[in-house]
Amino acid sequence: MKNVYGMNMQKLEDYFVNIGQKKFKAIQVYEWLYDKRVSSFDDMTNIKKDVINSLKSDFTMDKLKLLTKKKGKDVCKYLFELHDGNKIEAVLMYHDYGNSLCISTQVGCNMGCTFCESGRLKKVRNLEAYEMVLQILQVEQEEKLRISHVVLMGIGEPFDNYDNVTCFVDIVNHPKGVALGARHITISTSGVIPKIKEFMNYDKQVNLAISLHAPNDELRSKLMPINRAYPLKDLMVVLKEYIKRTNRRLTFEYIMLKDVNDSEKEALELAHLLKGMNCYVNMIPYNETSHIIYKKSSKDNIMKFYDILKKNRINVTIRREFGSNVDAACGQLRSNYEEGK
């Protein structure tokens, strides 16, 4: 049986047409699910009994199970169990501009980036759209607040789960759904070129962030095995095309790893690589994990790197550090939980 939270408007309308009903019923169901937030089909009181019965026999409304939550100063991290026992994480961050939620898109990840905790668990399966939607709804319910921004930066590679991810975006962006503006949704990818190409034709103004982490192929291939399949030279061509076609500004994420990618040489190389592109660089202080040898760059190095980019007229920001005390780097809460910490 399908979970109703995974139905985008198109799919739900098709469903109603198929069972011989008017398609506007889909809007009514959306209002109950996402505006009134009822938890049973029986509460959908303006829908006729026979239609409710069809819904009940074709869909579940099952939720995820919240296993633990860890609260920090301006961050809260959630560990959810899925129906099959797999575990995923979401991280809520309180900003001055609103509340943003970082959600997972897969159980594990196959990309094998050497600095990343999520990648230590190989992909077990993709998340279904409903499992992404419910991370948002359940955190909102748990904290009695509204999430204004969603980033797909938890466990998993979103573009290795493209169809479910775009179905998820359809649902949360729909004005009768969660109604998050497309510009308040950010998808982060390690650089899966064929899917970036497909995404150029996706009709919503969703933000795209590219995990770059190195300005040349030699270093990037060491950090991110995906770079061997989709090297920088090809990636940059596609990204320039993406900017031209969509008129959207790209974000590049750059984790600052001590003595690995944080020298003056790399800063200059990065400035050169991105020169003239409509983009900005988000420098990320590395969140050290107990399993991985990398260390975070010193504040001093981070500032030097930042200054070089600025001087070379690259738009750049340094990400505020969140929740290193609550295992907030993606994958850390899950792996610590499994090890009984």
Active site residues: 89, 330
Q: Specify the residue, 292 or 318, whose C-beta has the smaller distance to ligand SF4.
A: 292
333 makes contact with ligand SF4 (CB under 6 A): no
Burial 301-320 (b: 16+ CB within 10 A, else e): bbebbbebbeeeebbbebee
The span from the CA of 167 to the CA of 253, in Å, is: 25
Only one of the segments 83-91, 108-116, 197-205, 305-313 lies at the binding site for ligand SF4 (rule: CB under 6 A); that segment is 108-116
191 makes contact with ligand SF4 (CB under 6 A): no
Please compute Rg for the chain using Cα positions: 21
Residues that bind ligand SAH (CB under 6 A): 109, 115-117, 153, 157, 188-190, 211, 253, 255, 284, 286-287, 289, 329-330
Q: Nearest approach, Cβ of 109 to ligand SF4 (angstroms)?
A: 3
Q: Which residues contact 321 (CB under 8 A, 6 or more apart)?
A: 285, 287
- Show contacts with ligand SF4 in window 138-167 (CB under 6 A): 156-157
Q: Specify the residue, 139 or 330, whose C-beta has the smaller distance to ligand SF4.
A: 330
Q: Nearest approach, Cβ of 229 to ligand SAH (angstroms)?
A: 14
Select from ligand SF4, ligand SAH, none the partner in contact with residue 289, using the beta carbon and a kind-dependent cut-off of 5 to 8 Å. ligand SAH
Whether the CA torsion 121, 126, 131, 133 is positive or negative: it is: positive
The span from the CA of 149 to the CA of 153, in Å, is: 12
Q: Which residues contact 303 (CB under 8 A, 6 or more apart)?
A: none
Select from ligand SF4, ligand SAH, none the partner in contact with residue 107, using the beta carbon and a kind-dependent cut-off of 5 to 8 Å. none
Mind giving me the DSSP string for 176-224?
A: TTT---GGGEEEEES--HHHHHHHTT-SS--EEEEE---SSHHHHHHH-
Q: Nearest approach, Cβ of 167 to ligand SAH (angstroms)?
A: 18
Which residues contact ligand SF4 (rule: CB under 6 A)? 109, 111-113, 116, 118-119, 156-157, 190, 211, 330
